[in-house]
Chains A and B, each alone.
Chain A
Amino acid sequence: MEPSQLKSNKQVIHKNPWFLGILLCIFVVSVLASIPIEKRKYGLSQSNLTTDYTGLLPERIKKIVKAGDRSEIQEMVKEANEMGYHISIAGLQHSQGGHTYYKDNVVLDMKTFNKVLEIDKQNQTIKVESGASWEEVQEAIQPYGLALKVTQSQSIFTIGGSLSVNAHGRDIRFGPMAGTVREMTILTPTGEIKTVTRNDSEEWMKYVFGGYGLFGVILDVTLELTENDVYTIHTEELKTNEYEDYFANLIRNDDTSMHYARVSVAPNSFLDEMYVIDYIKTGKVDHKTPLKKERGARIGKLALDIGRQGGSLEDLFWENQKLLIKSLDGDEVTRNNAMRGNSAFMEFTKPGRVEVLQEFFIPVEHYEEYMSDLKRILPPNDKNDDFKIHNITVRYAAKDDYTYLNYAKEDMFGLVILIQHGLKEKEIHNAKTIIQEWTDLTLKHGGGYYLPYYHYQSKEQFRKSYPSWEMFQEEKLIRDPNGVFQNIFYDYYF
């Protein structure tokens, strides 16, 4: 070919509308696929107002201290005793009721205090600093074929934060998270460093666990671990009134290690339909399968956003969810991977609105009556309401004798509820009214509610849900005479 012809061909190609159209399509499709999910803006800030996961309680704080070594933290606590200022402790700030900060006072940011100190393969334990996240712990123990006994369904929280709320997750065998701690080092409110165990006569663990950072700083913990078992996933669709029997069977049969369920909030099957997901032992232990990374967040978010529209779109979302869950039936998963659910897809960033969590606990044998009573106070279709319910998950929380501010006074089902409402005063007030009514109903059935979330409940409801609050407060005054550890949560309820 003549060089001049080549040249003119080249010119033709980049001016060709087909070429330009294809270039544009390829580019647009690749941009579409790369649009990131927006992260909500929250967290510690000294120059601006500080918030936590919901951003509902913005406050100006005096200072953020990043946890360095333990003697530095000890010095700070002693200084606070002398000078009379308050300290709040912050992990990853997923709690939603101002538990991690206090107006015009100091925040101790524990995120940097995250070293793995020791892994004992023989005795299946790990000693780790409290600012480490479950994700970091999983990365450390996975190569040994070990896994955690109890965590939340996601691994995005710190150990200190999780123990301070005495979190619970999908495991139905190992009891409360507090029960999986063999030993712990704490920094007491008066500035002493102590190593404590469950048999400790001063009962520090009982106050520090589920103590919302009010009884001292957890420095490190020695956690009991278990094998990284491989499970087969079993899923099934149920009617709500079949669930109690289903669960009674499940808990009797030792084969199932983990379990959770989801209740429909779609108008057509509102609180009538459920599906369950069980993790059944295969007898195999896994050393090799890598920890899963979050995938499909964009699609998950899109699906959730469709569900968020309510009405028939929520019905569509529920039907799709059921199909998706059905498709998991028979799959195999390691324990570590079952304990690291996705979280990015939940991001919600609509201006002027907020998405919050609430959790109600209900004695196992009250579940069915409770659900049918609940139908009387909640509308099945919230499409045109400001207060919208997007999701209800059910978990099992075994009776807890390890903490004073305990939510599981007997074996309970925890109903985790994802709620969206507006931020105008009227809308917050409306949400408060509905949630208080819901809490009253829960109390009527012998249940209670979870404290790491925003305090829609009244002080009176708190006292009914946590009858040992008085003892908790008395002990707080004795162990922290100068009120060194303080946060918005304590200020509101006590």
Chain B
Amino acid sequence: MRIELQPRLDPPRWLGLAAPVAAFALALLVGGVLVAALGRSPLDAFRVYFVDPLTQDWSLAALAVKASPLVMIAVGLCFCFRANLWNIGAEGQFVVGGACGGALALATHGVDHMGPLGGAWILPALLALGAIGGALYALIPALLRVALGVNEILSSLMLVYVAGLGLDYLVRGPWRDPAGFNFPVSVNFDPEATLPNLVDGLSLHAGVLITLAVVVLAALVFSRTLFGYEIRCVGAAPRAARFSGFSERRLTLLVFALSGGLAGLAGAIEVAGPIGQLQPSISPGYGFTAIIVAYLGRLQPVGVLVAGLVLALTYVGGEGAQIALKLPLDVTKAFQGVLLVCVLGADVATRYQVRIIGRVMA
């Protein structure tokens, strides 16, 4: 028996939609087996993970808040992945963005905001600093690749660890709150450096709107601009792109700066929003989960929005399952991994016609 793949020249549209749905269903099945193996009821787990979070105001708000950084980072990753460039270091760019934005919040902490400029400039400047920090950090592997041919996968990944350790040092050292009872956290940010809530009493913050705007903008860039076309060309047919005069180097730097900038912006939003201070760790692996989001969303901004909500559901549901079913949080991570495996597997069906050929032929 062997398996034969025949490339589909013109995959039908419905397959593009059906594949991620089928992948999700398959992942649910595997996840259910996993939960059963741990001695819990898969049905209960399904309810806690995927139904309960959708039934209450506060959990819906939590969902949006969790999805926001995932979607923002994943939209950035779409730019890279579509151009066949592998920025795996979004986690580090997220951390650097959070630290850069947080630095401004700490610098302006406790000073008089009644000066000529007032305090209104702080929040936009904080977000801008986060984006710039993330972009600059992402440009390190991009420049190394363009100038020296260094593999961007490994270099961007090594920088994740360096960024995490750097933030850990800052928060435990120079940035520690002196009045914080020796807890390794910074002071709480001033209201001027904190994102306002959209609805009273809910955790829903203004950063969610920024994410939505980013999704719309990115969708327009991909579908309506020459830049979006250029990315697709370089990704799909690098030689053809070179002949038509697109510069691969310029594009590499651009997409890395973009994806790093968005990751950094997400980091700044996270510290100025839900967290409200700096901690030794500011991300539960958003940068890595965003890779799954990008793929599940088929590298399209709108798809990414949907996929981000799905993955956020696993985070919010995971917290619920920890309390209600005493399931370890690693179930969430394992499920996310299974989901990515299934998404990639399902993609085969859209790109190829898979035939299983028996011995009859021989």
A binds B: no
Taking Cβ atoms with an 8 Å cutoff, the residues of B that contact A are: none
